[in-house]
Amino acid sequence: MAGQNSAPSFLSFAQTALNLQSAAIFLLIFVVVLKLVRRPRNLPPGPRQWPVLGNYLALVRSGKLQHEVLAEWARRYGGVMSVHLTPARGPSVVVSDIGIAKELLQSKQRERHIDRAAIPLMKEVTDIRGSFLFGAGESAKEHRRFGLTAFRKMGVGKKSLEHRINEEARYLVERIEAEKNRPFDPSHPIHNAVSNIICSISFGFRFDYDDQKLKKLLDSLDIFSKMGIEVLGNKFPFLYYTPFFAKKRECVNFLRDTVIQIVQDHQSSYDENDLRDIIDMRIADIKEKEQQGSGLGTGPGLTEEIWLGILDLFGAGTDTTSSTLLWLISFVLKYPEVQEKIQQEIYDVVGSDRQPSCEDRPSMPYTNAVINEVQRMRPAGVFTLPYVTTEEFQLNGYTIPKGIGVIINLWAMMNDPKVWDRPDEFNPGRFLSKNGKTMIQHETFIPFSTGRRSCLGEGLAKMELFLFATNLFQLFTFKLPPGAPTPPLKGISRFTFIPEPFRVCAVKR
């Protein structure tokens, strides 16, 4: 009898336990979903969001690039709005108004409110303490101070660096001239030329355009900057160690090993009385801090502190400037009359017997206006790198909670019809005075962002864009290959915003 009674009791207990477990699972799911769908109080307005999926489906169904969709939503919901860009994640605040952006990025009062957001996949890939781009907090401020000082010492804005860029421009011209009017892909020689400027000021040497190490460096950077499965990697960083990321791991390892080897070579030949490049300057900076008791020490710690920052300069400094030069060529293929005006201005100011100089820039407003208009319509970075709030604060009448992502939509600001007359039209004249002899400065023109985390290499990029562009248009007229359509000018969004691949004929003038 006792055995007969125990069986029902056990079954009853098991059923009760199962019910409790089911209830606990249901409660957990309910809490998670509630957290995902519940909007924090007084958050900025935004488009309707689906539970868990947020606005992801709307972005995908639009068939447009993310920055374009966010700009359209900003015109509907305002210059500061909240959106859910990624499934199963909380909202982000998107800023598309220049006044609000400057308040966030320039104001000392706001300095404590936001900082660079951690990118989960990036943190999985490497230690970001030495990064100029991804670092946060006091270390990021220290790196920026060092970077600005190093660029000044390496000649940004001075004749010494101008000569270096013009020398590289000669190599670029020779490579393009060797094509002998045949159709070619301009991205390869332009990437090589721009990367060599960063190599020379960071590594102390340049690469030959046919050097296989340079090719692998640029190919690895290209794979590293592509977006796709990386979205999943940021949600589930452990995926980095799966076969899905095998190619990316291989590229990261090659980039790390290559730069670390160069850093170690610099350590072996380091002379504090002869600082050759930015690596030497960084070694000296770290050694000085070590003597003061705040350094990282020597050996692997020092190389790990340096390599990622140098890779930041190499990657960001190559992609941003080269993509703008490629956009420039794309636009003049569609608007050949613009190319003719640039060439006429170069002939009037520089002539054909010498290379252009930075001293020529003030006398060449039209060329500068064209470069500005290209950057306005197709900025190398459509967004700034992401930020995160470090405490709750009030912004434009809304409550921005701690720990929420902040996206600054540069593309929306520079294509805002309330600010720019017919922003979809390519019009260099918007940057010129009525007589065409002086440049007009627009406060909404911020292709390098603004504030304390604006582009570290802005001065270098401006020198490169002017000198490379004027050297190319002085000696070549760029034309479409016979029967080829004009470039679509739509663009591909990656780490930078790049034009679709195209081929071109460079006819010697």
% the chain with pLDDT above 90: 56
Tell me, what DSSP letter sits at residue 386? Answer: P
Stated pTM of the model: 0.88
- Considering the chain, what is the average pLDDT of its residues? 86
What is the predicted pLDDT for the residue at 39?
A: 56
173, pLDDT greater than 80: yes
Across the range 474-494, mean pLDDT stands at 93
CA distance 6 to 315: 71
User: Of the candidates 482, 487, 481, 483, which has an alpha carbon nearest to the alpha carbon of residue 502?
Assistant: 487
Angle between the N-to-C axes of helices 212-225 and 246-268, in degrees from 0 to 180, rounded to the nearest 10: 130
Number of H helices and number of E strands within the chain?
A: 17, 11
Across the range 86-114, mean pLDDT stands at 87
**pLDDT tens-digit map of 432-449:** 999 999 999 998 999 999
Binding residue numbers for heme: 455
CA distance 381 to 377: 11
Q: Residue for token digits 């004009």?
A: 486
CB 311 within 8 A of CB 253: no
DSSP states along 401-439: -TT-EEEEBHHHHHT-TTTSSSTTS--GGGGB-TTSSSB
3, pLDDT greater than 50: no
Instruction: List the 80-83 sheet strands across, edge first.
Output: 80-83, 92-95, 405-408, 387-389, 114-116
Across the range 45-72, mean pLDDT stands at 89
Between 384 and 222, residue with greater pLDDT: 384
Of 46-50, 91-95, 117-121, 205-209, least confident by mean pLDDT is 117-121
What is the predicted pLDDT for the residue at 97?
A: 94
First to last CA, the chain: 108
Query: Token pair for residue 400?
Result: 């921005």
**pLDDT tens-digit map of 331-363:** 999 999 999 999 999 999 999 999 999 999 999
CA distance 90 to 78: 20
Across the range 141-160, mean pLDDT stands at 86
**pLDDT tens-digit map of 284-313:** 988 888 787 765 544 446 677 788 888 888
What is the predicted pLDDT for the residue at 24?
A: 55
Across the range 258-271, mean pLDDT stands at 92
CA distance 135 to 150: 18
Binding residue numbers: 455
31, pLDDT greater than 50: no
Residue 325: pLDDT band (50, 70, 90) is very high
CA distance 97 to 99: 6
Angle at 213 between CA 208 and CA 215, to 5 degrees: 75
169, pLDDT greater than 80: yes
Beta strands in 34-75 (DSSP E): none
In angstroms, the Cα distances linking 160 to 79, 106, 368, 463 are 43, 31, 22, 12
